[in-house]
Structure formats: structure tokens, C-alpha cells
Amino acid sequence: MPRPSIFSFCFGDAGEWRIASMRAVVGSAPPPAERLAVREGVLADQAGFVLRGTTSNARYSKRAELDALAARQEELGRPTATRAALIPIRKSEAWWALAQDERRAVMEERSRHIAIGLDYLPAVARRLHHGRDLGEPFDFLTWFEYAPEHEDAFETLVTRLRETEEWRFVEHEVDVRLVRD
């Protein structure tokens, strides 16, 4: 696992990704913007709305799950993956009051998050960023890249996850869809 790295997601009128849609699934939506720039590091004088998160070690995955993920997952930045989704999520105080083993039980034993996700690899490439310990408005910035022919599969994936017990702990969720053009 590489050292943690902070990423900045900058909403504005510049950036490699065009914002195709942005909606609040739960809670309020960010201010409207045309484009998104994803940059490694904390940018000094970045104007506009910026969300930040850091990569980290896995918290809940078991060895067999990490091995299954590693065997199937693709890297970000594939030329064919011209679609992306940024889904910022904040979970409730009830979630954070649980113990590690209780959160794992909700997430995997009962919600099958990793098992469901594995169904969509290698079509979807992903990176998870943590924002809670940075004092960010979202606990997680989840990032996904896929080819246009896998858009429907990605829709099915998010629908399946949002029906789980884990998602009852989600109190703020925004869904930003992006096109690289």
C-alpha cells in the first residue's frame, strides 16, 4: 500500500472532466459548476469549491477480499474510461459510534458491499478518499472510472448499494457524473 496521498477535487470552469450532471441523493447539492479538476496535493490559491480527501489503508476488507480485489481491479486513467463518477458521502454519528467489528458486520456480512462491488470489476476502476479526519464536509470521496458501454452497469451497482443496510447510515450523498472530452 503506497503512503497516503491527498487529492483535491476542484469544481469550476477548468479541468479535464466535464460535469455532465450533479445531484444531491441525500442532503444538499454543491454549487453548480462546469468542470472538475482532480489534482494530487493541497492547492494553495484554488478558487471555487474544493473537496479534499486522502487515500489510506483498508479498514474493513479481509485478506481474501483484498486478494480478490487485487486480482480483478484495473488502474485509473485507462484511455477507454471516458466516464467517471465522484460520489461524496457523509455517514451519520450512529455509524461512527459503532465499533470496528459492528461496522464491518453492517458493511460486508449484511450489506455485501465488497461482494457486490466485485461483480463490477474490472469494468469499473476506483479510488477511495477519506475526508473525515481532515475536517472535510464529506467522510468519503468515492471516485470511479469506466467506459461508456458500462454506464448502465454502473447505475445498477449504485442502485444495489443504495438499497443496503449500510446506506441507512448515509446522511449526505452527492452524485457527480463526468465525461472526459
Q: Which of 50, 76, 153, 161 binds ligand HEM (CB under 6 A)?
A: 161
Minimum Å gap between C-beta 13 and ligand HEM is 26
- Single-letter amino acid code for the residue at 157: L
Only segment of 2-10, 28-36, 41-49, 57-65 that touches ligand HEM (CB under 6 A) = 57-65
Q: Are 128 and 60 in contact (CB under 8 A)?
A: no
Q: Integer distance in angstroms from the first to the last C-alpha of the chain?
A: 31
CB of 55 to ligand HEM, least distance (A): 11
* Smallest separation, CB 151 to ligand HEM (Å): 13
The cell for 29 is 447539492
Q: Does 87 bind ligand HEM (CB under 6 A)?
A: yes
Tell which one of 7, 36, 81, 117 touches ligand HEM (CB under 6 A): 117
Phi, psi at 50, each rounded to 5°: -130, 135
* Alpha carbons 71 and 69: distance in angstroms, whole number: 5
Residue 12, SS3 per DSSP: strand
The identity of residue 11, as a single letter, is F
Instruction: Report the interface residues with ligand HEM, using CB under 6 A.
Output: 58-61, 69, 87, 89, 91, 113-114, 117-118, 120-121, 124, 126, 128, 140, 142, 144, 157-158, 161
